[in-house]
Amino acid sequence: MSSVAVKPLRIVLAASEAVPFFKTGGLADVAGALTKALADCGHEVTLIIPDYTPLRQNKAGLPAVHDTGLQFTIDMNGRSVTGEVNWARYPQSTATVLLVRQAAYFDRGQPYGDAGGGYADNSERFCFFSRAVPEICRLMVLRPDVLHCNDWQTGLIPALLNSRYAQIAGFEQTASVMTIHNMAYQGAFWKMDMLLTGMHWGFYNPSHMEAWGSLNLLKTGLAFADQLTTVSPTYAREICTPEGGCGLDGLLRWRQSALTGILNGIDIDVWNPATDPLLPAPFSADNWQTGKARCKAHLQQRLGLASSPRTPLIGMVSRLVDQKGLDLIAGCASALLHRRVQLAFLGTGDARYESLLRDLAKRHPEQVSAVIGFDESLAHQIEAGADLFLMPSQFEPCGLNQMYSQRYGTIPIVRQVGGLADSVSHYDGTPAGLETATGFVFADYSMAGFSTAVEQALSAWQDAAVWNRLVRNGMHRDWSWQQSADRYVAVYHEALAKVASRKAENRL
């Protein structure tokens, strides 16, 4: 059991996606991993997610999903909408997963949108989901100590707990925690969508639910939740500035005493080079040189790159968008290729970057591979077979690939932002710096800054002693969720203390 918790808590996590059921990004990894980590600490954990039934049914290897028999109805602006609840056991855990089934809202080809953009009724869909969460807690008598919400899709829940559910049995002492995974996505909608929230129109004001003339569901959660968290300490500071706050920095500065940055962990069972079934050769910190050499040779062969053990192979698994630094990579591509490196890209994103990478691969087939799409086995094999990994992001709330890379003995080149700054220690070329360094970090978002970091990395590659130490340092880092889960539990107790204090004041 966690050393932080005095007694087991009843924790309900609400998220719009979670592995292994559905995943579009890092939110799903966090929601699933935190659920398991909290349950492993001895807490009573329930994860509530939408049931994107067709997407779930097309996946193999999921835990069995059962019908609870529970139905509920939400009044969505005068229209009664009925939902159902399925359940499953979270894999290798005591945690329960409740899946909210509503075919009209969630039986679609993708969770949030299609090629034309976000679905036009996303506000209605996720207002329904948010309203379903406390209602399911009430009907199933879950009596949560903490309701932990994630991103704008669940931002309405803290507001409901502070209003409609404040006096309902089972919620007398329930505390709310709101986690920001990415400030750039806020759930901003037409103001008349207030009619879908179940909240009084009086809350449509600049202190609660309105921002810049729109209903803002992320702001709603930030205004009402008892405690706020985000996914790295540096990002917690960045979002309180005009540059990082995406228009909500004023509210975040006002609530800064309630805001905690907690660096994500990773699933060290899935991302373990010693046991990873997707690798052609397992390896650990004790025998990484032989294992990584075999993984590199396999990756070069799979991607059609020249077989060359002494050519630095640089990987990138990412969305191909401006945020991820693709403009820097595009600007430096020619110089990189003149350095006789190999580049392996995997991802999808903006058409111009997809086209640029395909063109590079076509013109330099022995040096560049560009796989446009996603392939889980290839993602693991790039992490294991590459020598270096690129994450020159404009902003990065946390990031996970830089952690995967270090665990797999692959040296990351990252920008000094968000979770990248918190998880990669820069090698400054000194013996003292080598004691703890795990990668190369640059500050200025510029081609000059990026190019300098790449040059530093390629110089270190030439020194076997330095390189071996960097690899070992990274592979010995503890990326497990245990430390992160302990910090979340500490935040839960802060939220519970705040609720108890508020209740005591109201009794006076």
At 188-221, the pLDDT tens digits run 999 999 999 999 999 999 999 999 999 999 999 9
Residue 32 CB partners (closer than 8 Å, separation 6+):
18, 19, 20, 21, 47, 90, 267
Clarify whether residues 367 and 487 are in a common domain: no
Clarify whether residues 319 and 406 are in a common domain: yes
Clarify whether residues 61 and 146 are in a common domain: yes
- Residue 236 within any structural domain of the chain: yes
pLDDT beyond 50 at 1: no
Q: Which domain holds residue 391?
A: 288-478
- Residue 208 within any structural domain of the chain: yes
Clarify whether residues 180 and 260 are in a common domain: yes
Clarify whether residues 430 and 489 are in a common domain: no
- Residue 5 within any structural domain of the chain: no
Cα(406)–Cα(476) distance, integer angstroms: 8
Clarify whether residues 379 and 329 are in a common domain: yes
Clarify whether residues 249 and 311 are in a common domain: no
Clarify whether residues 18 and 100 are in a common domain: yes
Find the CATH number of the domain harbouring 51: 3.40.50.2000
- Residue 274 within any structural domain of the chain: no
Clarify whether residues 437 and 331 are in a common domain: yes
Clarify whether residues 142 and 171 are in a common domain: yes
- Residue 283 within any structural domain of the chain: no
Q: Which tens digits make up the pLDDT trace of 285-334?
A: 999 999 999 999 999 999 999 999 999 999 999 999 999 999 999 999 99
Domain count, the chain: 2
Clarify whether residues 16 and 82 are in a common domain: yes
Task: Check residue 4 and give its pLDDT.
Answer: 45
- Residue 233 within any structural domain of the chain: yes
CB atoms within 10 A of CB 361: 21
pLDDT beyond 60 at 361: yes
| pLDDT band, very low/low/confident/very high, at 60 (cuts 50, 70, 90) | confident
Clarify whether residues 463 and 354 are in a common domain: yes
Q: Which two tokens stand for residue 158?
A: 């803290």
Q: What is the mean pLDDT of residues 361-379?
A: 95
Q: What is the mean pLDDT of the chain?
A: 95
Cα(164)–Cα(160) distance, integer angstroms: 5
- Residue 1 within any structural domain of the chain: no
Cα(168)–Cα(367) distance, integer angstroms: 63
